[in-house]
């Protein structure tokens, strides 16, 4: 049976187009129809979420799992009592643990430029832990264990004072971390907002803004909520919400 003329023409057009590497009208029409996207992946609720009720030792390993490859060289520059590392297997990362208490000031780290994959920073986050006179340091009496864990137990070197002293440490540590980190390295920073001298200071915002100037992109943010209730010893009139949360900020060195 003879093919209709129109069909024969289409077939010839196709052969010619193939020969010359061109598209026929039909191919062009087909290409213009959007293809249905096939989505990969699986449905799951087993994902890391941004807000947690718990403690540092629970949340910190999960942040590393998400953002830092096993075997990475990690410098924890405020290692303190090593609480962050309590639930992490010993050989999972190449950990370099330092602290002022063991003689390494994070403002002058003993590492080559661009040599570290990840830096972890958790300095004293309350101005009360950075007073010039050690007798005026916060965390006295029954709170001395808290003070010993969170501050270096020494007075600050004078200027700047109060909340500015807290920021000064974060900013100087950020600059030094930037120096020792490789490009695309990860910088994990623990912080908490504070009310100082009756004024609200959103420390996490101040850090994010300053670090952006240094070349850090704020890739992730975790909120950690305390499990126990916060209390106040001498409350006259409440002015600000009592903070029962802190942050882990995750930065990437982009330049």
Q: Which residues of the shown chain bind ligand SAM in the complex (CB under 6 A)?
A: 77-78, 80-84, 99-101, 105-107, 122-124, 149-150, 152
Which helix H or strand E contains 28, and what residues bound it?
A: helix 25-32
Q: How far is the CB of 224 from ligand SAM (least distance, A)?
A: 13
CB nearer to ligand SAM: pick between 123 and 139: 123
CB nearer to ligand SAM: pick between 100 and 119: 100
Residue in 77, 79, 201 with CA at minimum distance from that of residue 128: 201
Q: How far is the CB of 217 from ligand SAM (least distance, A)?
A: 23
Q: How far is the CB of 205 from ligand SAM (least distance, A)?
A: 20
Q: How far is the CB of 50 from ligand SAM (least distance, A)?
A: 20
Q: How far is the CB of 128 from ligand SAM (least distance, A)?
A: 13
CB nearer to ligand SAM: pick between 67 and 217: 67
The rounded distance, in Å, linking the Cα atoms of 49 and 120 is 20
CB nearer to ligand SAM: pick between 9 and 107: 107
> For residue 194, which phi and psi values (nearest 5 degrees)?
-145, 150
Which helix H or strand E contains 84, and what residues bound it?
A: none
- Specify burial of residue 59 (Cβ count, 10 A radius: 0-12, 13-18, 19+): buried
Residue in 166, 235, 232 with CA at minimum distance from that of residue 196: 166
Residues 6+ apart with CB under 8 A from 149: 80, 81, 83
Q: Is the dihedral of CA 124, 127, 129, 133 positive or negative?
A: positive
Q: How far is the CB of 153 from ligand SAM (least distance, A)?
A: 7
CB nearer to ligand SAM: pick between 17 and 153: 153
CB nearer to ligand SAM: pick between 190 and 253: 190
Which helix H or strand E contains 7, and what residues bound it?
A: helix 5-20
Reported as half-sphere exposure (CB side, CA atoms, 13 A), residue 14 has a value of: 8
Nearest residue relative to ligand SAM (C-beta): 80
CB nearer to ligand SAM: pick between 54 and 82: 82
CA distances from 17 to 5, 28, 83, 246 (A): 18, 11, 69, 65
Q: How far is the CB of 150 from ligand SAM (least distance, A)?
A: 4
DSSP-derived pairing of the beta strands 51-53 and 216-225: parallel
């Amino acid at each position: 049976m003879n093919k209709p003329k129109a069909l024969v023409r289409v077939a010839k057009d196709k052969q010619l187009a193939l020969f010359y590497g061109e598209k026929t009208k039909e191919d062009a029409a087909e290409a213009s129809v959007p293809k249905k996207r096939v989505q990969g992946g699986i449905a799951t609720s087993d994902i890391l979420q941004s807000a947690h009720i718990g403690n540092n030792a629970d949340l910190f390993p999960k942040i590393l799992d998400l953002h830092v490859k096993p075997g990475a060289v990690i410098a924890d520059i405020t290692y303190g009592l090593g609480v962050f590392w309590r639930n992490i297997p010993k050989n999972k990362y190449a950990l370099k643990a330092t602290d002022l208490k063991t003689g390494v000031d994070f403002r002058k780290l003993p590492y080559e430029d661009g040599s570290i994959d990840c830096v972890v920073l958790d300095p004293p986050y309350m101005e009360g832990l950075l007073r010039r006179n050690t007798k005026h340091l916060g965390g006295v009496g029954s709170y001395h264990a808290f003070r010993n864990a969170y501050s270096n137990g020494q007075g600050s070197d004078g200027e700047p004072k109060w909340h500015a002293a807290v920021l000064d440490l974060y900013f100087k540590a950020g600059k030094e971390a930037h120096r020792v980190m490789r490009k695309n390295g990860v910088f994990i920073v623990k912080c908490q907002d504070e009310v100082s001298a009756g004024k609200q200071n959103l420390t996490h915002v101040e850090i994010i803004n300053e670090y952006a100037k240094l070349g850090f992109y704020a890739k992730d943010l975790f909120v950690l909520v305390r499990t126990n209730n916060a209390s106040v010893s001498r409350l006259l009139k409440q002015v600000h919400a009592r903070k029962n949360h802190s942050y882990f900020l995750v930065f990437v060195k982009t330049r």
